[in-house]
Amino acid sequence: MDRPDQKQRGITTPPENPDSLLSSASNATNAAGGTTGETASASSTLRKEIRVWTRDLLIAIGLALVIIVFLYQPVKVEGTSMAPLLSDQERIFINKFVYRFEPIQRGDVVVFWYPADHSKSFIKRVVGLPSETVQIRQGVLYVNGKVIPEPYVPPQYEDNSDYGPKTVPNDCYFVLGDHRISSNDSRVFGPVPSQLIYGRAVFAYWPVDHFGSLETTEADTK
């Protein structure tokens, strides 16, 4: 028979090392804390990225507004003198500063103050440059005696009457409407001084079926 003190020792479980218990608890706490920290870090990173994207978007919108307000100007076309390129009530953008950096060229569609009334604006196409001689014979445009092709004038819009010859004064431009038979242009009010020209038509934005660039290639003298 076992001794009583031996039985007691047999059923008694020795206590674990207190240091070991503390170590385990600490590891568990660190593990839990690590998970929470990673989540918080990811959330902080996401918030930071959202702030960066928001800032960049606002900067982009601000720059776009500055460009539109100071470089481009929206205007509404009234009348059909530039048909079929532009229709009545069409909305376009004009570049207000382009001619500060480059010269006016033949073929440009320009916006200018009407020479007879500076409170009104007209939009026409430049066909004659300073010091050039412009003449129209049976609807065909001649500059310095050479034919200027005008593919932008459809046959049904041609005007078969004669004009000129007329020499364009220095620092002035001869302008015509593409809808030649119904256009009030330099044939009526004469060449336009350069200081009255304040922009070039560059882009149509309304109606949507006319959406697109209005830039044209300079007509070649042939």
> Which of 87, 124, 146, 166 is labelled catalytic?
124
* 20 has catalytic annotation: no
* 81 has catalytic annotation: yes
> Which of 7, 20, 44, 81 is labelled catalytic?
81
Q: Are strands 109-114 and 197-206 parallel, antiparallel or unpaired?
A: antiparallel
The residues carrying an active-site annotation are: 81, 124
